[in-house]
Protein backbone atom coordinates (compact mmCIF):
# COMPACT_ATOMS: atom_id res chain seq x y z
CA UNK A 1 0.00 0.00 0.00
CA UNK A 2 1.33 3.38 -1.01
CA UNK A 3 1.42 5.78 1.89
CA UNK A 4 -0.24 9.06 1.13
CA UNK A 5 1.98 12.11 0.94
CA UNK A 6 0.90 14.51 3.64
CA UNK A 7 -1.01 17.39 2.09
CA UNK A 8 1.22 20.10 3.45
CA UNK A 9 4.36 18.57 2.02
CA UNK A 10 2.60 17.86 -1.25
CA UNK A 11 1.55 21.50 -1.51
CA UNK A 12 5.06 22.68 -0.76
CA UNK A 13 6.46 20.54 -3.56
CA UNK A 14 3.76 21.59 -6.02
CA UNK A 15 4.38 25.24 -5.26
CA UNK A 16 8.13 24.91 -5.60
CA UNK A 17 7.79 23.13 -8.96
CA UNK A 18 4.82 25.14 -10.28
CA UNK A 19 3.77 22.03 -12.23
CA UNK A 20 7.03 21.96 -14.18
CA UNK A 21 8.71 18.58 -14.66
CA UNK A 22 12.30 18.65 -13.42
CA UNK A 23 13.41 15.95 -15.90
CA UNK A 24 11.85 17.76 -18.88
CA UNK A 25 13.66 20.86 -17.72
CA UNK A 26 16.93 19.11 -16.92
CA UNK A 27 17.16 17.27 -20.25
CA UNK A 28 15.38 19.53 -22.71
CA UNK A 29 14.99 22.88 -20.99
CA UNK A 30 11.26 22.27 -21.38
CA UNK A 31 9.75 24.71 -18.93
CA UNK A 32 6.07 24.23 -19.80
CA UNK A 33 3.43 23.13 -17.32
CA UNK A 34 2.69 19.42 -17.28
CA UNK A 35 0.16 16.96 -16.01
CA UNK A 36 2.15 14.95 -13.57
CA UNK A 37 2.68 13.46 -10.18
CA UNK A 38 4.97 13.71 -7.23
CA UNK A 39 7.67 11.09 -7.26
CA UNK A 40 9.73 9.76 -4.37
CA UNK A 41 13.29 10.17 -5.58
CA UNK A 42 14.75 7.33 -3.51
CA UNK A 43 11.80 5.07 -4.38
CA UNK A 44 10.73 4.79 -0.75
CA UNK A 45 7.12 5.85 -0.48
CA UNK A 46 7.35 6.37 3.26
CA UNK A 47 10.11 8.93 2.87
CA UNK A 48 8.01 12.05 2.51
CA UNK A 49 10.57 14.74 3.14
CA UNK A 50 10.48 17.64 0.71
CA UNK A 51 14.04 16.78 -0.27
CA UNK A 52 12.93 13.34 -1.42
CA UNK A 53 10.05 14.56 -3.56
CA UNK A 54 9.95 15.94 -7.08
CA UNK A 55 7.19 16.79 -9.51
CA UNK A 56 7.45 14.90 -12.81
CA UNK A 57 5.32 14.67 -15.92
CA UNK A 58 3.47 11.37 -16.31
CA UNK A 59 5.94 10.08 -18.90
CA UNK A 60 9.02 10.74 -16.78
CA UNK A 61 7.23 9.57 -13.65
CA UNK A 62 6.59 6.18 -15.28
CA UNK A 63 10.13 5.98 -16.63
CA UNK A 64 11.67 6.86 -13.31
CA UNK A 65 9.50 4.49 -11.29
CA UNK A 66 10.17 1.54 -13.59
CA UNK A 67 13.94 1.88 -13.53
CA UNK A 68 15.87 -1.29 -13.03
CA UNK A 69 19.46 -1.71 -11.93
CA UNK A 70 20.41 -2.83 -15.46
CA UNK A 71 18.86 0.08 -17.28
CA UNK A 72 20.70 3.30 -17.86
CA UNK A 73 17.85 5.13 -16.22
CA UNK A 74 18.06 8.43 -14.48
CA UNK A 75 20.00 8.40 -11.25
CA UNK A 76 18.75 9.95 -8.07
CA UNK A 77 21.60 12.45 -8.21
CA UNK A 78 20.61 13.58 -11.69
CA UNK A 79 17.03 14.11 -10.59
CA UNK A 80 18.10 16.06 -7.53
CA UNK A 81 20.35 18.21 -9.67
CA UNK A 82 17.66 18.86 -12.30
CA UNK A 83 15.23 19.71 -9.55
CA UNK A 84 17.68 22.19 -8.03
CA UNK A 85 18.14 23.88 -11.41
CA UNK A 86 14.39 24.05 -11.96
CA UNK A 87 13.66 25.49 -8.51
CA UNK A 88 16.30 28.16 -9.01
CA UNK A 89 14.79 29.25 -12.32
CA UNK A 90 11.26 29.26 -10.91
CA UNK A 91 12.37 31.19 -7.88
CA UNK A 92 14.03 33.78 -10.10
CA UNK A 93 11.07 34.05 -12.47
CA UNK A 94 8.55 34.46 -9.70
CA UNK A 95 10.59 37.34 -8.31
CA UNK A 96 10.79 39.09 -11.65
CA UNK A 97 10.04 42.77 -11.73
CA UNK A 98 6.73 44.02 -13.01
CA UNK A 99 6.75 44.37 -16.78
CA UNK A 100 3.83 46.25 -18.21
CA UNK A 101 4.27 47.19 -21.84
CA UNK A 102 7.72 48.72 -22.10
CA UNK A 103 7.80 49.87 -18.52
CA UNK A 104 10.01 47.78 -16.30
CA UNK A 105 11.29 47.96 -12.79
CA UNK A 106 15.10 47.94 -12.74
CA UNK A 107 16.60 44.63 -11.69
CA UNK A 108 19.03 46.24 -9.28
CA UNK A 109 16.25 46.95 -6.84
CA UNK A 110 17.53 45.50 -3.61
CA UNK A 111 14.23 45.17 -1.82
CA UNK A 112 11.62 42.44 -1.80
CA UNK A 113 8.92 44.94 -2.67
CA UNK A 114 8.19 44.65 -6.37
CA UNK A 115 5.80 47.54 -6.52
CA UNK A 116 6.33 50.51 -8.76
CA UNK A 117 5.66 54.04 -7.63
CA UNK A 118 4.61 56.94 -9.81
CA UNK A 119 4.05 60.55 -8.90
CA UNK A 120 2.64 63.68 -10.41
CA UNK A 121 3.95 66.55 -8.40
CA UNK A 122 2.53 70.03 -8.24
CA UNK A 123 2.44 72.81 -5.73
CA UNK A 124 -1.30 73.00 -5.53
CA UNK A 125 -2.25 69.48 -6.46
CA UNK A 126 -0.42 66.18 -6.69
CA UNK A 127 -1.05 62.50 -7.01
CA UNK A 128 0.83 59.29 -6.48
CA UNK A 129 0.14 55.75 -7.61
CA UNK A 130 1.51 52.44 -6.45
CA UNK A 131 1.31 49.59 -8.95
CA UNK A 132 1.85 46.06 -7.75
CA UNK A 133 1.84 42.85 -9.77
CA UNK A 134 -0.32 40.16 -8.17
CA UNK A 135 0.36 36.41 -8.37
CA UNK A 136 -2.75 35.99 -10.58
CA UNK A 137 -1.22 38.30 -13.21
CA UNK A 138 -3.45 41.25 -12.47
CA UNK A 139 -2.18 44.48 -11.04
CA UNK A 140 -3.30 46.21 -7.89
CA UNK A 141 -3.29 49.97 -8.04
CA UNK A 142 -3.53 52.16 -5.01
CA UNK A 143 -3.32 55.91 -5.16
CA UNK A 144 -3.66 59.17 -3.38
CA UNK A 145 -4.55 62.45 -5.05
CA UNK A 146 -4.55 65.82 -3.37
CA UNK A 147 -6.14 69.04 -4.52
CA UNK A 148 -5.70 72.36 -2.76
CA UNK A 149 -2.49 71.64 -0.88
CA UNK A 150 -1.98 75.29 -0.02
CA UNK A 151 -5.51 75.87 1.19
CA UNK A 152 -5.65 76.85 4.84
CA UNK A 153 -8.28 74.22 5.57
CA UNK A 154 -6.12 71.53 3.97
CA UNK A 155 -6.49 69.69 0.66
CA UNK A 156 -9.28 67.56 -0.70
CA UNK A 157 -8.11 63.98 -0.74
CA UNK A 158 -8.95 61.24 -3.18
CA UNK A 159 -8.09 57.59 -2.66
CA UNK A 160 -7.92 54.91 -5.27
CA UNK A 161 -7.73 51.16 -4.74
CA UNK A 162 -8.51 48.62 -7.42
CA UNK A 163 -7.37 45.41 -9.08
CA UNK A 164 -7.46 45.01 -12.85
CA UNK A 165 -6.22 42.96 -15.76
CA UNK A 166 -3.36 44.31 -17.89
CA UNK A 167 -4.19 44.67 -21.56
CA UNK A 168 -1.05 45.44 -23.54
CA UNK A 169 0.36 48.32 -21.57
CA UNK A 170 -3.00 49.54 -20.34
CA UNK A 171 -4.93 49.08 -17.16
CA UNK A 172 -8.47 50.39 -16.88
CA UNK A 173 -10.61 51.05 -13.85
CA UNK A 174 -14.26 51.89 -14.10
CA UNK A 175 -17.07 52.32 -11.64
CA UNK A 176 -20.65 52.51 -12.82
CA UNK A 177 -22.15 52.35 -9.37
CA UNK A 178 -22.95 56.04 -9.37
CA UNK A 179 -25.98 55.68 -11.58
CA UNK A 180 -26.08 57.13 -15.11
CA UNK A 181 -22.53 58.33 -15.21
CA UNK A 182 -19.50 56.09 -15.10
CA UNK A 183 -16.14 57.00 -13.70
CA UNK A 184 -13.33 55.66 -15.85
CA UNK A 185 -9.58 55.83 -15.43
CA UNK A 186 -7.15 54.47 -17.97
CA UNK A 187 -3.47 54.05 -17.09
CA UNK A 188 -1.06 53.83 -19.99
CA UNK A 189 2.42 52.62 -19.05
CA UNK A 190 5.36 54.10 -20.92
CA UNK A 191 9.02 53.82 -20.17
CA UNK A 192 9.51 55.58 -16.83
CA UNK A 193 6.17 57.35 -17.23
CA UNK A 194 2.51 56.70 -16.74
CA UNK A 195 -0.25 58.57 -18.52
CA UNK A 196 -3.55 58.61 -16.67
CA UNK A 197 -6.66 59.57 -18.60
CA UNK A 198 -9.83 60.15 -16.69
CA UNK A 199 -13.40 60.30 -17.80
CA UNK A 200 -14.44 62.34 -14.89
CA UNK A 201 -17.54 62.33 -12.88
CA UNK A 202 -17.41 65.53 -10.88
CA UNK A 203 -16.72 64.83 -7.27
CA UNK A 204 -16.00 61.15 -7.64
CA UNK A 205 -13.01 61.46 -5.31
CA UNK A 206 -14.02 64.72 -3.72
CA UNK A 207 -14.28 68.18 -5.26
CA UNK A 208 -11.68 68.85 -7.99
CA UNK A 209 -9.60 65.85 -7.03
CA UNK A 210 -8.20 64.14 -10.10
CA UNK A 211 -5.88 61.27 -10.92
CA UNK A 212 -5.52 62.32 -14.55
CA UNK A 213 -2.20 63.53 -15.92
CA UNK A 214 1.34 62.43 -16.58
CA UNK A 215 3.27 60.67 -13.86
CA UNK A 216 6.97 59.99 -13.47
CA UNK A 217 8.23 56.73 -12.04
CA UNK A 218 10.07 57.11 -8.77
CA UNK A 219 13.32 55.14 -8.80
ZN1 LIG B 1 8.98 15.31 -17.98
Ligand 1 centroid to residue 65 C-alpha, Å: 13
The whole-chain average pLDDT of the chain stands at 83
Identify the pLDDT of residue 1: 43
Residue 170 lies in a domain: yes
Ligand 1 centroid to residue 56 C-alpha, Å: 5
pLDDT at 109 over 50: no
Q: Are 68 and 133 members of one domain?
A: no
What are 175-184's pLDDT values in tens digits? 887 777 788 9
Q: Are 122 and 191 members of one domain?
A: yes
pLDDT at 106 over 60: no
Residue 84 lies in a domain: yes
Residue 87 lies in a domain: yes
CA angle, 40 then 43 then 44, to 5°: 85
Identify the pLDDT of residue 51: 93
> What domain count does the chain have?
2
Query: Could you list the residue range(s) of the whole structural domain that residue 16 is in?
Result: 7-94
Identify the pLDDT of residue 110: 36
Mean pLDDT across the stretch 81-105? 76
Residue 132 lies in a domain: yes
- Given 94, 125, 158, the domain boundary residue is 94
Identify the pLDDT of residue 207: 80
Ligand 1 centroid to residue 99 C-alpha, Å: 29
Q: Are 85 and 143 members of one domain?
A: no
Ligand 1 centroid to residue 171 C-alpha, Å: 37
pLDDT at 161 over 50: yes
Q: Are 70 and 115 members of one domain?
A: no
Q: Which helix (H) or strand (E) holds 162?
A: strand 156-164
Backbone dihedral region for residue 7 (phi beyond 0: left; psi -120 to 50: alpha; all else: beta): alpha
What are 122-141's pLDDT values in tens digits? 888 999 998 887 767 788 89
- Check: pTM over 0.85? Answer yes or no: no
Phi and psi dihedrals of 62, rounded to 5?
Answer: -60, -45
- Radius of gyration of the chain, Cα coordinates, nearest whole angstrom: 25
What does the buried/exposed string (b/e) look like for 138-162 if buried means 16 or more CB atoms within 10 Å of the residue's CB?
A: ebebebbbbbbeeeeeebbebebeb
Amino acid sequence: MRKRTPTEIETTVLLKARRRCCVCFGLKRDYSMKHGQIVHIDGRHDNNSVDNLAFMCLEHHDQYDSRTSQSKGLTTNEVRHFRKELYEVIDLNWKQPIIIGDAQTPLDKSTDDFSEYYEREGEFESAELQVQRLPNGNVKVTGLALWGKTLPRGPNIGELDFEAEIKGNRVTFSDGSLGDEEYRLELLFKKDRLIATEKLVGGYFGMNVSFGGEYTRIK
